[in-house]
Structure 1
Amino acid sequence: MVEVERTIVTWGWGFLIAYILLMIGLGYLGYKRTDSQDDYATARGGFGFLALAFAYAATVASGSTFMGIPGMAYGMGFKAGYYALIYPIGIYLGMLFVARITKKVGDRFGSQSVPDFLGDRYQSPLLRLLAALLALFLLFYIMAQIAAAGWMFDTILGLQYELAIWVAGGLLLLYLTAGGSHADIITDAVQGVIMVGVTVLIVVMFVTGWGVDGGITGVNAALPAEMQWDSHTDPANPTFANWWVIFLLFIAHIGFTALPHLGNKFFAIKGTQYMKKFMSVAAVIGMALPLMFLGGVLGRAQGIQIENPDAIIPMLFVENLPPILAAFLGVAILSAIISTADGLIIAVSQIFANDLYRKSYVPWTGGDPNSDRVNQRALWISRVSTIVVTIAAVAAVMTPPEYLAILLWVGIGGIIAAYGGPYFIGTFREETSKMAALVAFIVSFGIYFVIHLGPQFGLYEGWYPYNENPFASSAIGFVCSCFLTYLISKFTEPLPESHLDDVFRPEREVTPDGGTSDD
């Protein structure tokens, strides 16, 4: 076994070097296409539907899908399948609501992030600022990806976790600092293709009952009774305590589409005429990738013993496949992790460069946010922020978390709750007011804080299972945000007609009698 592990490590380093060279090459292509701050932030109009669909699906999937959710399946059994199969339905349903209008408004106003889009949609610098500050919670998401990469390096390459996370951070910086969003999308598209291949292999291994007598039935029988496929809920497990919280998991993921690192991708498609193709292909790929959870179930059925459940997929490869194939697939899983981490880092860098500096600080001091000098300085801030954010994320996970899928939701749940109403209601209801958006944003984040973050920070015990279930808490905040946005808009003044014409044209046209009609 020791000799096998050495062989895997040797092949792993070989594949890693090849992977690094590929990422550097693709990153250089991104650098050659990056001439301005807008290029770095959005890669606006730079990609066709197919490449962007693979990149979007890869970004959605992340280290959570390829390590965190299989880790949950290893520890919880088939119940984790509810998470794996429900979350992509919610995300891609949410995408149908917001993708087209985000692209159109973002191109018209030059929006470079989701907080920037909200500020432009509602003519509200305050909303832009609040949304940008709250989006800093994405650091938790980045931390989860770095930790996942650390476990992958540990298992496949033999690096200690504490060193591996720094190697992962360095790998990201190799191509992101120079190439920005172009490098992010180009590399993610390639990584998305690799991820599809890995998923197909895991499904085949599960269906054939690899390493377990009796096929799929044998896999189920090898699990403890509380993990088998006829065990659906567990009152002691806050994530699957009852059917209500499982339903809320679906609701929460509708709002997941509002996250800045996903919304930014919509700016990059060449034109709105490609939106339907982009969304269709992305949805098909995105709904297939979470079948990775079956690898966690299979690993548990085989009796594989691991210290951290999130490492079950690379260990499954090590235990079951020839060393060269295990090493290759391990590096492939690493690509899945990197594909989300890079988009997140770019999104957070834009909070500093665009939302806080160019669109908030510069106008406040009387400057012109569109001047060449400001744009060049914003590009410089983007690159420096990329380095700082990556280093901060690595340092924060020196002690690895228990479950990656839970860690990343500690931060993003508040973003989903706050952004929900202003983003989703505001995309199809023109009469949504600035006051409604601001009130819903603040109050809904407060609701999420009271239900979940307060107990997580140890301020009080909270109400089970919501104090320990970020998905259910996020869903409650999201629903409250949408309801408050709609209700308050009924009693407050809408935005000026001229601004609404700019936002919704050509969907919204002014008729001769002063009313509106849709194309």
Structure 2
Amino acid sequence: MSEIQIYMWIGLVLFLILIAYLGYLGYKRTSTVSDFAIAGASLGPYVLGLAFAATFFSAATFVGYPGWAYQWGFSSLWIFMTLIFASPLGLIVVAKRAREMNIKQKSLSLADWLGDRYNSDFIRVGTALVCLFNIFYIAAQFAAGAWIFKTLLGIPYSLGLAIIAIFVVAYVFWGGSFADIYTDAAQAVAMAVMGLLVFLSALWMFHGGFTGAFTHIHNTLAERSADLVALTNPDSAAFYAVPAIIGAFIIQFAFSSQPQLFNKVLALKDPRDMRKMILVYVVSALCFLLVVLGGLYAAVTVTVDHPDQALLTYVTEAFPPIMAAVLGIVVIAAAMSTTDGIFVVMSTLVANDIYRKFLVPRGIVKATPEEADRMALKLSRYTVIVVGVISYILVLNPPASMGMFIWVGISGVASGTLGPLIVGLFFPNLATATAAKCSLVAGIVAYLIILIGDLEQSTMAAGAWAVLVGVTVMLIVGFATRNKGVATEQPSQKSV
């Protein structure tokens, strides 16, 4: 066993003990479906800011995006720009107003919030079904963890995949949102430290400090291909043309309203603390994103068989073995920090949005209020197991690019939900239930046509164009139906 593997095993055991303890604390505080879904809307801005950042920046940040920089060069730095500008803007635009409205609505998820906003079970259930796209996101995080086990510990990919799936399923099963947020906040600190260290490694890996490093990287890549140092790269699956870059900015704006992030907005105890939460998120995000530069460092210092291995391999060259082990733990943490949040969301979709807010009020399932609450909590937990198994199966054969695989899920969710969300928040006179239904259907149909028809190379851009379709349909139909009122269905019961 190598020195890196020894440190990795020690760090992994300590990390899993910490996560298990935090999961236990979450379990002790989880007694209702509200606790499971949004931690009872009882948490402060600092822990939620860290948790939001950790959930937002998944293992793709530490594995997939450096792999893009390694493979496609300087054009991949657009991912840095979109994430540091468009995403915080999306959070600022949506978060505070949505949380303030939820004081009255008391919704538990994005699907629940939209269903309550439009008094429509069609919107509630339709959004819940659209959010199932995020199973691709979970699967990609599992794949990232399995890559770590394979690269640093020599564990076969399939076994590593099983290990990370079982562990994440276990602590989310018991601790729900409390476990998700507590563990995410702790993981965010480790992710920020690693981002800073990778960025600073240029000081000893290259002559002439940062200036010398980027001069050397630019010259070396330019000798290989002019496309590697251009603003766009025709070989890139993400940033091959200006329209694709514009699409990336649009979809990153939309990403801030993804359901696993939206539920953390709903978990904030005092809406007046939203500014503090956003500030913590932005500072953390900047630190995380510095690892993308590690992909450029790797492009001129190491050779790998798969781009997703670039940062891991670079760190083994740039740091002592103990630091390589720490990076391995950080990537596992990044994978878990996003995965657990999505697990909570998807279980809430089934237990609260479909069962508790649709099947029971409509009389499709007979249950007293107390029976419905108990069954909702059980469904929340057992849905975690089902989703975990499906996600595991999806990536038994690892995807060609984890970064692009993730965006299949993100784009699918955004295409159907952003129109009803944005118009519902800022153009209430146009926010009719009819418009929201049309936008939901048009957005997701447009996305499927673009994706299945292979009309767009980038899954990010595909999502962006579908989002624009959804928003446009929402505005047009909203204008046409604005005099008919906001609701066209009877409100679902707030609780049963």
Task: Give TM-score, length-normalised by structure 1.
Answer: 0.89
Q: Is the alpha carbon distance of 1:314 and 1:367 closer, same or farther for their aligned partners in structure 2, counting shifts above 3 Å?
A: same
Partner residue of 1:130?
126
Looking at structure 2, the residues matched to 211 and 334 of structure 1 have their Cα atoms a distance apart, in angstroms, of: 32
Which range moves more in the overlay, 97-106 or 57-66?
Answer: 97-106
Q: Report if the CA contact (8 A) 1:85-1:291 is conserved.
A: no
The correspondence for 1:331, drawn from 318, 329, 332, is 329
Looking at structure 1, the residues matched to 428 and 142 of structure 2 have their Cα atoms a distance apart, in angstroms, of: 40
Partner residue of 1:481?
470
Partner residue of 1:266?
265
- Shift of residue 74, structure 1, vs aligned partner: 1.0
Partner of 1:116: helix, strand, or coil?
A: helix
Q: Report if the CA contact (8 A) 1:369-1:375 is conserved.
A: no
Q: Report if the CA contact (8 A) 1:177-1:387 is conserved.
A: yes
Partner of 1:474: helix, strand, or coil?
A: helix
1:39 aligns with 2:40: no
Amino acid at match of 1:34: T
Q: Is the alpha carbon distance of 1:244 and 1:113 closer, same or farther for their aligned partners in structure 2, counting shifts above 3 Å?
A: same
- Shift of residue 270, structure 1, vs aligned partner: 1.3
Looking at structure 1, the residues matched to 149 and 337 of structure 2 have their Cα atoms a distance apart, in angstroms, of: 16
Amino acid at match of 2:176: G
Q: Is the alpha carbon distance of 1:64 and 1:227 closer, same or farther for their aligned partners in structure 2, counting shifts above 3 Å?
A: farther
Q: Report if the CA contact (8 A) 2:66-2:311 is conserved.
A: yes
Amino acid at match of 2:123: L
Q: Report if the CA contact (8 A) 1:41-1:350 is conserved.
A: yes
Mapping for residues 226-245 of structure 1, pairs under 5 Å: 226=225, 230-245=229-244
Q: Is the alpha carbon distance of 1:339 and 1:200 closer, same or farther for their aligned partners in structure 2, counting shifts above 3 Å?
A: same
Q: Report if the CA contact (8 A) 1:417-1:475 is conserved.
A: yes
Partner residue of 1:116?
112
Partner residue of 2:97?
101
The correspondence for 2:86, drawn from 77, 90, 93, is 90
Query: Residues 297-352 of structure 1: CA distance to partner in whole angstroms, max 9, x if unpaired?
Result: 111110x2222211222222222321122212221221111111111111111111
- Shift of residue 229, structure 1, vs aligned partner: 6.9
Q: Is the alpha carbon distance of 1:498 and 1:259 closer, same or farther for their aligned partners in structure 2, counting shifts above 3 Å?
A: closer
- Shift of residue 370, structure 1, vs aligned partner: 8.0
Partner residue of 2:494?
none
Mapping for residues 376-391 of structure 1, pairs under 5 Å: 376-391=374-389
Q: Is the alpha carbon distance of 1:110 and 1:317 closer, same or farther for their aligned partners in structure 2, counting shifts above 3 Å?
A: same
Looking at structure 2, the residues matched to 31 and 41 of structure 1 have their Cα atoms a distance apart, in angstroms, of: 13
Unaligned runs of 5+ in 1: 456-461, 503-519
The correspondence for 1:78, drawn from 69, 74, 80, is 74
Amino acid at match of 2:418: G
Looking at structure 1, the residues matched to 485 and 94 of structure 2 have their Cα atoms a distance apart, in angstroms, of: 22
Which range moves more in the overlay, 210-219 or 42-51?
Answer: 210-219
Q: Report if the CA contact (8 A) 1:437-1:485 is conserved.
A: yes
Query: What is the root-mean-square deviation in Å for CA atoms of aligned residues?
Result: 2.2
Partner residue of 1:17?
13
Looking at structure 2, the residues matched to 365 and 97 of structure 1 have their Cα atoms a distance apart, in angstroms, of: 38
Q: Report if the CA contact (8 A) 2:418-2:471 is conserved.
A: yes
Residue identity (%)? 31
Looking at structure 1, the residues matched to 150 and 237 of structure 2 have their Cα atoms a distance apart, in angstroms, of: 30
Which range moves more in the overlay, 333-342 or 227-236?
Answer: 227-236
Partner residue of 1:282?
281
- Shift of residue 494, structure 1, vs aligned partner: 5.4
Looking at structure 1, the residues matched to 364 and 143 of structure 2 have their Cα atoms a distance apart, in angstroms, of: 42
Looking at structure 2, the residues matched to 427 and 130 of structure 1 have their Cα atoms a distance apart, in angstroms, of: 19
Looking at structure 1, the residues matched to 255 and 283 of structure 2 have their Cα atoms a distance apart, in angstroms, of: 17
Amino acid at match of 1:444: G
Q: Report if the CA contact (8 A) 2:399-2:405 is conserved.
A: yes
Looking at structure 1, the residues matched to 110 and 366 of structure 2 have their Cα atoms a distance apart, in angstroms, of: 21
Amino acid at match of 2:177: S
Q: Is the alpha carbon distance of 1:369 and 1:314 closer, same or farther for their aligned partners in structure 2, counting shifts above 3 Å?
A: farther
- Shift of residue 424, structure 1, vs aligned partner: 1.0
Partner of 2:233: helix, strand, or coil?
A: coil
1:181 aligns with 2:177: yes
Partner of 2:473: helix, strand, or coil?
A: helix
Which range moves more in the overlay, 315-324 or 15-24?
Answer: 315-324
- Shift of residue 8, structure 1, vs aligned partner: 0.9
Amino acid at match of 1:163: L
Query: Residues 62-112 of structure 1: CA distance to partner in whole angstroms, max 9, x if unpaired?
Result: 011111101111111111111122133222111112212322333422311
Which range moves more in the overlay, 173-182 or 219-228?
Answer: 219-228
Q: Is the alpha carbon distance of 1:337 and 1:366 closer, same or farther for their aligned partners in structure 2, counting shifts above 3 Å?
A: closer
Amino acid at match of 2:355: Y
